[in-house]
Amino acid sequence: MNLLEKKVAIITGGAAGIGKATVHKFLLEGSTVSAWDLNKEQGLQLMNEYSEFADRLEFRELNVSDEAAVNQAMDAVVEKYGSLDILVNNAGITRDATLMKMTPEDFDLVVDVNLRAVFLCGQAAARHMVEQGSGVILNASSVVGLYGNFGQTNYVATKAGVIGMTQVWARELGRKGIRVNAVAPGFIATEMVMKMPEKVIDMMSQKAPLQRMGQPSEIASAYAFLASDEASFIHGATLSVDGGLIS
């Protein structure tokens, strides 16, 4: 039996990178998936690429930092599929600059997408999960949320905040039958990262004891495990998937 057979999942930022890999993994494991993303073109490409799963996959063009849009979409998914078993809060952006050069606008934008949106989606999902007495919420943090990173004040603040929120939600929602965990990826070979100069990619690869970058599919596998009943006693944890980067 597949890990996520007959589960209904929402995956934010699901049209590219780790989100897209997670959508694919969840589909392979038997889940019905609602992929949310602001990029309509990539969302339509996703639907086309995974057309064999058309009966278990939908795409919703959505700004996850918009409270009304999130609540409406969450209600629509539950109405369409009858339940909500898994939320993967994966959507995220970067606007990197050193402290002296970062603008308040860039700080606020990253906080809106990487932290506020996690709160909004988590809150909306929790309402439905509490009502049904079960569910799993998985939040995307990052290894930089654990040790910091040069030029990423805004991003690091959000990813550290996600870990804190995960721990709070675990305390609040566990008694309601809802498990909450975070995943902290290391350097992952997404489409965006692989466009960087080869010198930078080599440097990132060499930092990890495994001497390579991770693949989006490896993060997706971590999400699938944590979302499944195989992880039924894992709660309030932050799982580093980083090739030993912070070991």
In contact, 130 and 180? CB cutoff 8 Å: no
Question: DSSP of the chain, one letter per residue?
Answer: --TTTT-EEEEETTTSHHHHHHHHHHHHTT-EEEEEES-HHHHHHHHHHTGGGGGGEEEEE--TT-HHHHHHHHHHHHHHHS---EEEE-------B-TTT--HHHHHHHHIIIIIHHHHHHHHHHHHHHHHT-EEEEEE--THHHH--TTBHHHHHHHHHHHHHHHHHHHHHGGGTEEEEEEEE-SB--TTGGGS-HHHHHHHHHHSTTSSPBPHHHHHHHHHHHHSGGGTT--S-EEEESTTTT-
Question: DSSP of 191-211, one letter per residue?
Answer: TTGGGS-HHHHHHHHHHSTTS
- 155 in catalytic set: yes
User: What is the spatial distance between Cα 156 and Cα 8, in angstroms, rounded to a whole number?
Assistant: 30
* Sign (positive or negative) of CA dihedral 171, 172, 173, 175: positive
Q: Which of 50, 81, 155, 223 is the catalytic position?
A: 155
Residues tagged active-site:
155
